Amino acid sequence: MRGLENRVAVVTGAAGGIGKEICRRFLQEGIRIIALDVNAEALKELTADLDATADTLLGTPVDITDYAGVKDAVDRAVAKFGKIDILVNNAGWDIAAPFLKTEPDLWDKIIAINLKGPLNLHKAVLPHLIAAGGGKVVNVASDAGRVGSSGESVYSACKGGLIAFSKTIARECARDNVRVNVVCPGPTDTALLRSFVGEGEYGQKIYEGLKRAIPLKRLGQPDDIPGLVAFLSSDDANFITGQVISVSGGLTMSG
């Protein structure tokens, strides 16, 4: 894709299933990466698995709910690479349960990770994109934020909020040549989904039910997401901003 070579990207949730595949694709495109994740050991494994070097991937443990920590990580990244061109907010977390069986402490954690975290990253990174003359933001939300999802009420609210926030920032920052778009995965075979459906025979039944509901008759895989993220980060997407695109095998369709 055009215009990705030698770009610098911040990727959150970089050591998770989808995050790892985004980092893999970015390295293939010649992008240098600031890989942020709360799991320091997983970041070390990520660097080894992707055969990355200190010049191509800077693994930085950070809690994205802590603005001071996020800003410090971003500032250190700019000091190392000299700029930031791309921000990918990919980190997410949830525990599946009907809303009336959840408590405010759980709501607070879900909101902090899935909504406040991306707000912190925008606040820390956008000034660098603007100073560089423009850039790309790709926010990984969820179809749960577009159409709802039983057992994911607060998570869905956060992802819906992230979609609305992204459209607003796309409007506010268009004059600064910053494009902001949203990728919404449908059911994707990650650790988060496995924790949602459970293990054993019951979990397998849910998996099979999901497959039957998806027109393409399979669950998404982590490597189904990076192609769209790379496209939206490239010069080929220079006239695209404020858009929300599902990657769901056709489970959700809009237009």
Active site residues: 155
Instruction: Judge contact between 34 and 73, C-beta under 8 A.
Output: yes
Q: Please give the sequence-ordered ranges of beta strands (E in DSSP) within the chain, or none if there are none.
A: 8-12, 32-37, 57-61, 86-89, 135-140, 178-185, 244-247
Beta-carbon-side half-sphere exposure of residue 25 (alpha carbons within 13 Å) = 23
Q: How far apart are CA 108 and CA 9, in angstroms?
A: 28
Q: If we measure between CA atoms, which residue out of 89, 90, 91, 84 comes closest to residue 31?
A: 84
Q: How far apart are CA 182 and CA 1, in angstroms?
A: 19
- Coil, helix or strand for 219? coil
- Coil, helix or strand for 148? coil
Q: How far apart are the first and last CA of the chain?
A: 25
Specify the DSSP class assigned to residue 233.
H
To which residue do tokens 């003359």 refer? 133
Q: How far apart are CA 181 and CA 243, in angstroms?
A: 5
Residues with Cβ < 8 Å from 128, sequence gap 6 or more? 74, 78, 83, 84, 135
Q: Which two tokens stand for residue 131?
A: 């100073």
